[in-house]
Amino acid sequence: FTAFYKPTHMLINIRFFIYISASFSLLIFGLLLMPGCQSASPPETGLRSETDTLLNAGNIWKFDSIIAANYNQLKWNETFVAIPNERLDNKSVTRKGLQLIFELENGDTLCRTNDTSVTESKVNYQYCTKLSNINHWLILGYYYEWSQYEIVNCSTGKRTQVMGYPSFSPDGKYMVCGSLDESSEGINGIEFWRLKGTSLQLLLSRELTKWGPNRLAWAGSDTLIIERYFMLNSKPGFVKVGMPSK
């Protein structure tokens, strides 16, 4: 009897231990799922909207609302500047018929040729000015239903499209280009560039849907003031944004 009883008793104990262990595991799992027992959620670190923050490659541009009257004394730059009368630099920039001709410092010649057809390929190139601080020319192309600024390296002829009329920081380290277009036919957005001599490094290029930059002003070498218009109500607002530290 003793030899038969002990194994049976041991088997019951093992089954009871397994049952208790499984029940305890289910209880712990259930407690973890209860809202009151969950740990607090970490603070949100993502972008709330394009109206207050832009992010690219680890750099953050945070837009803080400001009172415009505090910055009336600043020099404001329009993001779009029409040049009614083209003034050519006859030494290096000339026009011959439909061609806008650039004599490059390396001895080569660059031509931008107008297309006068009434099609989507239509374009009229207009010379704006020389950006001496970065040794580039600025031209404006009027296309079929939109316009586009372009800068041309005076030495190499390399062409770079930019969103708007460039605005330079006082220390010459940054260039910002913006475009306000409520028609949805052209470009509406903003770009931030870092400058190193004549080289350009694009830090951020973002097309916007909720607002567009109308005017830009610098309140120091690393602080930009933007007059922006919101698309839904065409209501202006003013924000300041700091340049990235890296």
The answer to whether 123 and 148 have CB atoms below 8 angstroms apart is no
User: What does the buried/exposed string (b/e) look like for 124-141 if buried means 16 or more CB atoms within 10 Å of the residue's CB?
Assistant: ebbbbbbbeebebbbbbb
Token pair, residue 239, equals 């924000």
How far is it, in rounded angstroms, from Cα 83 to Cα 12? 96
The answer to whether 53 and 60 have CB atoms below 8 angstroms apart is yes
pTM comes to 0.76
How far out from the chain centre does Cα 25 lie?
Answer: 51
Q: What is the pLDDT along the chain (246 residues), one digit of tens a residue?
A: 334 334 444 444 445 444 445 454 544 444 444 444 333 433 334 445 688 888 777 778 888 989 877 787 889 999 998 777 788 877 899 999 999 999 999 999 999 999 999 898 999 999 999 999 999 999 999 998 889 999 999 999 999 999 999 999 999 999 999 999 877 778 899 999 999 888 999 999 999 988 999 999 999 999 999 999 988 777 788 999 999 876
How far is it, in rounded angstroms, from Cα 153 to Cα 195? 13
